[in-house]
Amino acid sequence: MTKIQESISSKVWDLKYRYRLQDKILDRNIEDTWQRVAKAVAKAEPLKERAHWQKQFHSILQNFRFLPGGRILAGAGTKHNVTLFNCFVMNIAEDSLRGIFDGLEEGALTLQQGGGVGYDFSVLRPRGQYVKTAGTVASGPVSFMRIWDTTSAILLSTGARRGAMMGVLRCDHPDIEEFVTAKENPQELRHFNVSVMVSDAFMQAVKDNAEWPLIFPLSKEEIKKESLHEKNIIYRTWSNQREPVPCRIIKTIRARDLWQKIIKSAYDYAEPGVLFEDTINRLNNLWYCERISATNPCGEIPLPPYGACNLGSINLTQFVEHAYTPQAKINWSELEKVTAIGTRFLDDVIDISHYPLRAQKIEAQQTRRIGLGLTGLGDIFIMMHIRYGSPESIHLAQRIMQTIAETTWQTSIALAKEKGSFPLFSPEYARGEFIQKFSATIRVEAAQHGMRNSHHNTIAPAGTISLLANNISNGIEPVFRPEYERYVRSPDDERLTFQVRDYALQVWRDLKKSEDKPPAWADVSSLLPEDHLNIQAAVQPYIDNAISKTINIPENFPFEKLEQVYTKAHALGLKGCTVFRPNPVTGSVLVENTEVDKCHVCGE
């Protein structure tokens, strides 16, 4: 049995993942947790094969080689009425009070059962627009986001799990300027992450210093009554709609002015992030049957309404052999083996999970999306004498992600042969742009045999589960700090403080008996934005979902250089970009101290 070495790791397990039924402790140790989860997930397999797959699932959970999403660790095999999915994208069906409050109710039910939620608020008409049916004036998307924010706060006061929300607004919505600055007030929308959905057309307008129309779709009544050929009517593909719809130009601004406001807000208080709409949809494996306009709270999985995050991460630190020697290498065959079993594991989770809403269950079973990723990348670079952001690190990151992706896709094809393709599979799937990145063998077999899962790979924040695995670096992020304070909240809301040490540093000191840092040491304080972007760009081509990535920049980072970061992110084909600079509004929480359950829910 593997012991949890760090006291905070033990505490995280005890507070977040240990199975208790009322006052009775049922998980005596981490081994019990692994056995519980493995047995529960294997129940999706045929009866005669369950014992075999329980053993296989247990084998990858041991030693933290595979880290399932936190909801799986906490909920699988328990009697708790919770979902095993970390996050969902929700729906506001229409711009009406009924549509708004139906969406609010669905979100509340999902938050109550442990899932984070993301919304595209672009469907709501702009502030000041006359609502003919009610004889009133619209208050705009941001005002209704405050209702969601209050609801989340109330649920927290009842003891519900801390769940994040994502609010998205299109770059051409008339209220976009209000949305961009909504969180400059430290008391506003504290339970939301916010992101702007940016189009290629907008990026071109920024480049050209052109005017940019802010628009809103015509209602059905307006379409019947008005000429659709007027100068102030243009066609755009709006929220979740696959075909362009007629929209009225409400006002026109300079694209570059809006772009500067977005970047200034990110510089001053770390939000909003940006999502690149056309890149997301161009590379969507389900391009033939859906259009995406929102993501989960941390941005690593763009999803249609009621889509869900089913997450798991390969802990790369457990595949490095001969660390800190000239012979340091990755055990590629073992990495492929664990990836294949992890793919099957996540596919089985779809069938054993509880869903807060029937619509979420239907969507999950129709597409069978999974998000298998990696964590610990920053640590293994150090353990293999490679500096984060160097050409060697870029090449290795690319090879690792390609290996994981190809193994995941091959396993999904094999599962399709064994269990059948996801119901929305179509021959058009094999003609998608993303799948063309793979070998002819994968493309041909996908066309012949289908796919078990519509989507396969992602990079989640993996913050809390990385802490559980003895404080490895999370996701594809660089190491945060050699040592720093980490906070954990207990069930009675007491804040517990731990001094933690990075995993790679601890391994170095155990091996070398030295207080110095390893030769290839690099953390967020010593890296440039280009280092972050280049690593993200190296793995993005093999990830059919997306990546949760934060570019930490120092407080004195020149504002004029930040625009280059966002522009380069778009040019590199990334699906989104988020930066964090210490500031008076959000403080320096990502630089000095981090609270385990502060905001993110993905991978916890």
Catalytic residues: 296, 298, 300
Residue 260 CA, chain-centre distance (Å), reads 25
Q: Is the peptide bond before 272 cis (omega within 30 degrees of 0)?
A: yes
Cα–Cα nearest to 452, from 423, 492, 493, 491: 423
Helix ranges (H only) for 13-96 are 30-42, 50-61, 70-75
| Cα–Cα distance, 371 to 309 (Å, whole number) | 7
Centroid of chain to Cα 21: 30
Counting Cβ atoms within 10 Å, is residue 229 exposed (0-12), middle (13-18) or buried (19+)?
Answer: exposed
Confirm if 174 and 250 have CB atoms less than 8 A apart. yes
User: Count of residues for the chain?
Assistant: 604
DSSP 13: I
Distance CA 237, CA 44 (A): 39
| Backbone dihedral angles phi then psi of residue 255, each to the nearest 5 degrees | -60, -40
Tokens of 425: 């599979």
**Strand 320-321 with 329-330, pairing:** antiparallel
Q: How far apart are CA 431 and CA 501, in angstroms?
A: 47
Q: Which residue has the tokens 């589960």?
A: 465
- Three-state DSSP at 565 gives helix
Beta carbons of 196 and 275 less than 8 angstroms apart: yes
